[in-house]
Amino acid sequence: MNTYPKTSALMARGSEFLGSEYAILCGAMSWVSERNLVSAISNGGGFGVIACGAMTPELLDTEIAATRAMTDKPFGVNLITMHPALTDLIGVCARHGVTHVVLAGGIPPKGSVEAIKAFGAKVIVFAPTLALAKKLLRSGADALVIEGMEAGGHIGPVSTSVLAQEFLPELSADHVVFVAGGIGRGEAMAGYLEMGASGVQLGTRFACATESIAHPNFKKAFFRAKARDAEASVQVDPRLPVIPVRALKNKGTAEFTAKQREVAGILDSGEVDMGEAQLQIEHYWAGALRRAVVDGDVENGSLMAGQSVGMVKQEEPVADIIAALMAESEAALSGR
Ligand SMILES: Cc1cc2nc3c(=O)[nH]c(=O)nc-3n(C[C@H](O)[C@H](O)[C@H](O)COP(=O)(O)O)c2cc1C
């Protein structure tokens, strides 16, 4: 017997697309979304996604094999489009027969969607505007994530609730669309499903799960934080467009301002071009996030977190988080 009939019915298309029991993705989180969390999410009925981040092809190869050894359920791999070895990373996914590849961090470069589809995987993309979403879906993307500025990590300028109103009425009849950003409870999940979403993606709510390898200091910082502590970074130099990042305020967020000035300086002097300057910024984030997640340096590292962090109170097994989300959604839908 299905304990969550109303929610499952609204998730049917998303679950079928993902091959998971519930259409709940745990969004890739660099350093956090590795074999332990990813396999736990997929074993718990959700859909785990490995964060490739700045990994080399060799490291990704190892991580996929290790994840596969821990779950026989489907999971995905998230690749950052500006990774210099993107083609090789796609090759690694092909060799492992990865079923779902998420392309994040910008518009997919020419040929990348085709290369992924060529080995039979489904391609999931992010789109910041409706026009771009339509273009990407026309040119072969199989599903879309719309992610609002409430989310943790790299963010766009528009809130989840507005993106959902703009995108879902236009796209949900014909396309699989997942909604991300600021979802902490099942009632919100139910709302987006009713609006036409095929499923949802959460990051912050899962980052401190029992199975997450994030350092205890990182987790403690999450448990203490309130929604307003998860601030978006500011761009200090108009010549250097940096994608804002939402993280808990600490010394590290202040240091990012200095880092931007430093990179803007070497951009001005002609030492690096714009592409290299932006890559340096992204390497900075990868390093800073590693310091917080792996080393537990919550002062100087980056504590990327979404505004839903205020709803993360304690370490909980992934299965309990998923069960709570489904039960809250079901109760909300049943009470309509
Ligand atoms: C610590 C952290 C690291 C993240 N790293 C990545 C990443 O490497 N690639 C990516 O596409 N998204 C990344 N994200 C975004 C998540 O995949 C997800 O879309 C987001 O957390 C959803 O919003 P929420 O935090 O409000 O649940 C990260 C988020 C967090 C909190």
The answer to whether 27 and 62 are in contact (CB under 8 A) is: no
C-alpha to C-alpha distance for 19 and 42, rounded to whole angstroms: 10
For residue 60, pLDDT over 80 is answered with yes
| Contact between residue 182 and residue 160 where contact means Cβ atoms under 8 Å apart | yes
Q: Which of 119, 116, 35, 127 is nearest to 75 (CA)?
A: 35
- Taking the C-alpha atoms of residue 222 and residue 185, their distance in angstroms, rounded to an integer, is 16
Is residue 34 within 6 Å of ligand 1 at its C-beta? no
Three-state DSSP class for residue 108? coil
Return the structure tokens found at 283: 């390497």
Task: Point out which residues pair with 79 in neighbouring strands.
Answer: 103
pLDDT in tens, 151-202: 999 999 999 999 999 999 999 999 999 999 999 999 999 999 999 999 999 9
Reported as a single tens digit per residue, the pLDDT across 81-107 is 989 999 999 999 999 999 999 999 989
Q: Does ligand 1 lie within 6 Å of residue 202's CB atom?
A: yes
Query: What is the spatial distance between Cα 247 and Cα 279, in angstroms, rounded to a whole number?
Result: 19
Report which DSSP code applies to 304. Answer: B
> What is the side-by-side strand order in the sheet with 230-232?
153-154, 245-248, 230-232
Alpha-carbon torsion (278, 279, 284, 289), positive or negative:
positive
For the Cβ of 306 lying below 6 angstroms from any atom of ligand 1, the answer is: yes
DSSP string, 40-91: HHHHTTSEEEEE-TT--HHHHHHHHHHHHHH-SS-EEEEEETT-TTHHHHHH
Cα 152 to ligand 1 centroid, rounded to whole Å: 5
Question: Tokens representing 1?
Answer: 């017997």
Pocket probe mutation, ligand 1, options 200, 204, 283, 298, max atoms within 8 Å of Cβ: 204
312 touches ligand 1 (CB under 6 Å)? no
Would you say the CB of residue 27 lies under 6 angstroms from ligand 1? yes
| 107-135 CB burial, b ≥16 within 10 A, e <16 | ebeeebbebbeebebbbbbbbbeeeebbe
Instruction: From 24, 26, 30, give the residue whose CB has the most ligand 1 atoms within 8 Å, as the site to mutate.
Output: 30
Q: Render pLDDT for 281-336 as a digit per residue (tens, 0 to 9).
A: 888 988 999 999 999 999 999 999 999 999 999 999 999 999 999 999 999 999 99
DSSP, residue by residue, 17-47: HHTSSS-EEE---TTTSSHHHHHHHHHTTSE
**Cα torsion at 247, 186, 123, 42 (round to 10°)?**
90
pLDDT of residue 275: 85
Contact criterion met (CB below 8 Å) for 326 and 186: yes
pLDDT band of 240, cuts 50, 70, 90: confident
User: Ligand 1, residues 26, 29, 322: which to mutate, most atoms within 8 A of Cβ?
Assistant: 29
> What does the pLDDT read at residue 169?
98
C-alpha distance from residue 18 to each of 109, 132, 199, 273 (Å): 24, 23, 10, 39
Cα separations in angstroms, 192 against 23, 52, 178 = 12, 28, 9
pTM of the model: 0.97
- Averaged pLDDT for residues 116-122: 98
Å from CA of 153 to ligand 1 middle: 5
Write down the mean pLDDT value for the chain: 96
Under 8 Å between Cβ of 105 and 82: yes
150 lines ligand 1 (CB under 6 A): yes
pLDDT over 80 at 264, yes or no: yes
Distance CA 300, CA 258 (A): 13
- Whether residue 298 contacts residue 292, with contact meaning beta carbons closer than 8 Å, is answered with yes
| Residue 29 CA, ligand 1 centroid: distance in Å | 5
32 Cβ below 6 A of ligand 1: yes
pLDDT range class, residue 243, cuts 50, 70, 90: confident
245: its two tokens: 């990042």
pLDDT for res 102: 98
- pLDDT(238) > 90: no
Q: Which CATH number fits domain 5-213+310-334: 3.30.930.10, 3.40.50.150, 3.20.20.70, 3.10.129.10?
A: 3.20.20.70
Domain ranges of the chain: 5-213+310-334, 224-307
The Cα–Cα gap between 52 and 77 comes to 7
* Best CA proximity match to 25, nearest among 260, 329, 336, 318: 318
pLDDT at 282: 84
- Give residue 11's pLDDT: 98
Q: Is 148 in the pocket of ligand 1 (CB under 6 A)?
A: no
Q: How confident is the model at residue 241 (pLDDT cuts 50, 70, 90)?
A: confident
From the CB of 51, is ligand 1 less than 6 Å away? yes
